Amino acid sequence: MKVLIITFFVVIADQISKLYVKGIKIPFLGIDTPGMPYQSSKNVIGDFFKITFIENPGMAFGLQLGGKLFLSIFTILATILLVFFLYKNRKEPLILRLALAFILGGAIGNLIDRVFYGVIYDYAPFFYGRVVDFLHFDFPNFVVFGKTFYSWPIFNIADVFVTVGFLIILFGYKKIFRHEEHKENLPAVEGIPGNIEGYEKGMTEEGSEMPNEILNDTSDDLIVENFEEKEIPPQATTGFDNINENSDVSKNHITDISTSEDKKIPDVN
């Protein structure tokens, strides 16, 4: 499952960015990053894009779902299911595995905040930590059907990869499910398990099948390993060619028979 390498880098990028914003001090490693004051902002692209440090007790983009303990346990279970689902679909199209790797990396990144940050920064017990958010885009307010939508919620890198993963599945579902449908429609061949990658490689082109003469031939004449037809060169034959070397009849005891026209059988009459 090489896509787990992508998951690993997503988690690393997410945690480094959060520790830079929140700050961390590890004396024996010589690390001392002061971080940003809580709710402070730094302009990156004018007022449109800013780094604003806040902490979110809920889900991605500030969404709330039950209590903190429930949310932490729910995230742990969801992460375990994602790992299992990714392993189960390890032979599926790369686009699906890539999407799952993004979602898994984002889930683990936010899970670390909830489980450990309260203890690391000494403000809450395990599973009661708050997620660090800092990516702040100041979109103009807009109204849809009489309801006003304000600026986009502040989020983090983990949220970005979770969203990208779901978007890949949403817009790439046609390719994913076309691959599944193609596998299900493969004909079963006696002696060959259906729906296997090896058989897919035997397809002459996408959507077409191998010749029926080959698939339906169950005789012993078809030798796959040596399928090319070989011609036997013509050879002169003699009377001795049909005698087996192990035969009881020895060639030395065979009377020399001449086929010459000069020799004739004498007339006994």
Q: Please pick, among 32, 47, 113, 133, the residue that the annotation labels catalytic.
A: 133
58-92 b/e with 16+ CB inside 10 Å = b? ebbeeeeeeebeebbeebbeebeebbeebeeeeee
Q: Is residue 165 part of a domain?
A: yes
Q: Could you give the strand order of the β-sheet that contains 131-137, starting from the edge strand earlier in sequence?
A: 41-45, 49-56, 131-137
> Are 167 and 179 within one domain?
no
pLDDT tens per residue across span 151-200: 788 999 999 999 999 999 998 877 666 655 555 555 555 555 555 444 44
Q: pLDDT (tens digit, 9 = 90+) per residue, 223-258? A: 444 445 555 555 555 554 554 555 554 445 444 444
Is-catalytic flag, 133? yes
Q: Is 47 part of the annotated catalytic residue set? A: no
Q: What is the pLDDT of residue 215?
A: 52
Residues 68 and 93 in one domain: yes
Question: Which residues neighbour 257 within 8 Å (Cβ) at sequence distance 6 or greater?
Answer: 239
pLDDT mean across residues, the chain: 76
Judge whether residue 40 has pLDDT over 90. yes
- Helix, strand, coil shares, percent, the chain, to 5: 40, 15, 45
> Which residues pair with residue 220 across a beta bridge?
none
One domain, residues 82 and 182? no
Q: Print the domain residue range for 35.
A: 4-171
Q: How many residues does the chain have?
A: 269
Q: Count the domains in the chain.
A: 2
Q: Rounded to two decimals, what is the model's pTM?
A: 0.63
Looking at 47, 113, 159, 217, which residue is catalytic?
159
